[in-house]
């Protein structure tokens, strides 16, 4: 039986709200974009429908067009978009009696557990050949989920030392963890836990070199299940998550204004209504880019959204990703964009680059479906969209594109926030384990989203 909702619209509801400042100034801290981001003004209410008649612009709108803007015009016109016809919701065959663990194994399948078992046993045999360990015996598909479950518990019940979970002191002792396996067995599994046969790792000079070789099979498998288990809503969002890691790593990133300042950057696309993670791309540095001739933001958006082309999706991105070039590219593939944009982007009309000083000043210019917007609230914010008509809402007096952006852009931040509450695993030196724990954490969250949307279990 395939689970999913019928004609009802799916909306993301979180028990924990992001602070107003985050909604207003989503990416002032992007290290690629610099620290002079143009955050949207205070606006969090739902936007008016795109087919409403455009309202009159602000004080600066009348003198918007300047020589050299070419086809950009201050007069608004209708925009043409492909109608989104997909039926959003979960896609699985679990019955109404399925438990939450069944939903987790949709995201992190048993076939992947079998790979972890095989590679862990292989690595143990390789190590024991040179360093004997009489206490080791092969693991199996019954024990490996228990090992991963303990890693999950570490994020829920955090203690400063590993031995405390097996301690004789009642205030530290965890009967559930101790009942799954002894501390010596857990240490043995932790010592040999592996995802790939690292003896076959290609050298850096090899054309097949992959910085993520140690976890590539797990990354690809989880990507596939995330994509296959859910039909996304019309609205998508692309942004970055950070997997915290402070050890030595060639592609470690530093983002000083982020809650997690050091770590591995993961480009992520989410359902903008539910926060479900649809796909991700782990950034491993300039040397590993697939299309170095393109801007990085263009490459990321195209890579994460290409599987959703020609369906009428709307993609929400921030100023690091947005440009006239990516907006045109998405529109050619029946996909539409909405987001803030740097005022110095190539192709942006000069009419929206002027400094606005009065609160409520609005400049909008249109070329085909593209609408460039400059709006001044606490400061001037620039936006580029292909899914909204010109004008402001009667209630707020603010541009529709701005309200639309504020409504849908924060879902990746919410997804990242949810994962930060109960981080899987314990600190260590092996960077690739942090990626595995992140994927397990994301699988838990996606499983929760699908579980809440599926038929009642009771």
Q: Strands 336-340, 314-317: parallel, antiparallel or unpaired by DSSP?
A: parallel
What pLDDT is recorded for position 53? 37
Q: Which residues of the chain have pLDDT under 50?
A: 1-63, 458
Q: Is 7 a domain residue?
A: no
Largest CA distance in the chain: 82
Q: Is 204 a domain residue?
A: no
3-state SS track over the chain: CCCCCCCCCCCCCCCCCCCHHHHHCCCCCCCCCCCCCCCCCCCCCCCCCCCCCCCCCCCCHHHCCCCCCCCCECCCCCCCCCCCCCCCEECCCCCCCCCHHHHHHHHCCHHHHHHHHHHHHHHHHHHHCCCCCCCCCCCCCCCHHHHHHHHHHHHHCCCCCHHHHHCCCCCCCCHHHHHHCCHHHHHHHHHHCCCCCHHHCCCCCCCCCCCCCCCHHHHHHHHHHHHHCEECCCEEEEEEEEEECCCCCCCCEECCCCCCCEEEEEEEEEECCCCCEEEEEECCCHHHCCCCCCCHHHHHHHHHHHHHCCCCCEEEECCCCCCHHHHHHHHHCCCEEEEECCCCCCCCCHHHCCCCCCCCCEEEEEECCEEEEEEECCCEEEEEECCCCCCECCCCCCEHHHHHHHHHCCHHHHHHHHHHHCCCCCCCCCHHHHHHHHHHHHHHHHHHHHHHHCCCCC
What pLDDT is recorded for position 25? 39
Contact between 374 and 381 under an 8 Å Cβ cutoff? The reply is yes
Q: Are residues 137 and 166 in the same domain?
A: yes
Q: Is 79 a domain residue?
A: yes
Count how many Cα atoms sit within 13 Å of the Cα of residue 137 in the half-sphere of its side chain: 3
Q: Are residues 81 and 126 in the same domain?
A: no
β-partners of residue 265 are 242
What pLDDT is recorded for position 4? 42
Q: Is 220 a domain residue?
A: no
Residue for token digits 């004008």? Answer: 391
Where residue 36 sits, what CATH number does that domain have?
3.90.350
- Count of structural domains within the chain: 2
Q: Are residues 289 and 384 in the same domain?
A: yes
Domain containing 446: what range?
Answer: 100-196+432-453
Q: Are residues 59 and 176 in the same domain?
A: no
Q: Are residues 296 and 373 in the same domain?
A: yes
Q: Is 4 a domain residue?
A: no
Q: Are residues 36 and 118 in the same domain?
A: no
Q: Are residues 82 and 112 in the same domain?
A: no
What pLDDT is recorded for position 2? 42
Q: Are residues 395 and 265 in the same domain?
A: yes
The reported pTM is 0.84
Q: Are residues 287 and 357 in the same domain?
A: yes
Q: Are residues 53 and 108 in the same domain?
A: no
Q: Is 207 a domain residue?
A: no
- Dihedral Cα 162, 168, 174, 179, nearest 10 deg: 100
Q: Is 78 a domain residue?
A: yes
Q: Are residues 252 and 378 in the same domain?
A: yes
Q: Is 235 a domain residue?
A: yes
Q: Are residues 113 and 146 in the same domain?
A: yes
């Amino acid at each position: 039986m395939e689970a999913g909702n019928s004609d009802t619209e799916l909306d993301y509801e979180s028990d924990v709200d992001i602070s107003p400042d985050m909604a207003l100034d989503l990416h002032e801290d992007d290290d690629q974009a610099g620290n002079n981001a143009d955050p949207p003004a205070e606006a969090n209410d739902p936007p008016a429908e795109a087919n409403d008649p455009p309202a009159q612009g602000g004080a600066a709108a009348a003198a918007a067009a300047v020589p050299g803007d070419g086809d950009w015009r201050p007069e608004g016109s209708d925009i043409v978009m492909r109608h989104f016809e997909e039926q959003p919701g979960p896609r699985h065959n679990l019955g109404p009696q399925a438990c939450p663990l069944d939903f987790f194994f949709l995201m992190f399948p048993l076939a992947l557990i079998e790979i972890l078992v095989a590679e862990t046993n292989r690595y143990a045999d390789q190590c024991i050949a040179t360093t004997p360990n009489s206490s080791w015996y092969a693991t199996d598909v019954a024990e490996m989920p228990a090992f991963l479950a303990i890693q999950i518990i570490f994020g829920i019940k955090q203690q400063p030392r590993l031995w405390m979970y097996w301690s004789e002191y009642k205030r530290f002792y965890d009967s559930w963890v101790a009942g799954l396996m002894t501390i010596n067995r857990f240490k043995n599994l932790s010592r040999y836990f592996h995802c790939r046969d690292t003896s076959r790792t290609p050298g850096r000079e090899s054309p097949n070199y992959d910085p993520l070789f140690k976890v590539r099979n797990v990354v690809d498998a989880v990507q596939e299940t995330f994509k296959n288990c859910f039909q996304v809503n019309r609205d998508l969002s692309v942004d970055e998550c950070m997997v915290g890691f402070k050890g030595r790593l060639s592609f470690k990133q530093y983002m000083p204004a982020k809650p997690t300042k050091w770590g591995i950057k993961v480009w992520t696309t989410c359902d903008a209504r539910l926060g479900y993670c649809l796909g991700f791309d782990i950034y491993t540095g300039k040397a590993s880019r697939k299309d170095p001739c393109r801007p990085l933001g263009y490459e990321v958006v195209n890579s994460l959204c290409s599987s959703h082309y020609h369906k009428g999706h709307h993609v929400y991105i921030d100023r690091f990703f947005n440009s006239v070039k990516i907006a045109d590219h998405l529109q050619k593939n029946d996909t539409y964009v909405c987001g803030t944009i740097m005022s110095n982007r190539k192709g942006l009309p000069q009419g929206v680059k002027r400094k606005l000083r009065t609160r409520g000043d609005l400049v909008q210019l249109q070329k085909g479906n593209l609408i460039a917007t400059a709006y001044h609230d606490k400061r001037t914010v620039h936006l580029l969209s292909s899914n909204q008509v010109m004008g402001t809402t009667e209630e707020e007096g603010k541009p529709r594109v701005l309200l639309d952006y504020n409504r849908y852009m924060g879902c990746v931040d919410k997804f990242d926030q949810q994962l930060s509450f109960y981080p899987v695993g314990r600190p260590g030196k092996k960077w690739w384990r942090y990626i595995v724990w992140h994927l397990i954490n994301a699988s838990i969250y996606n499983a929760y989203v699908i579980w809440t949307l599926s038929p009642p279990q009771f």
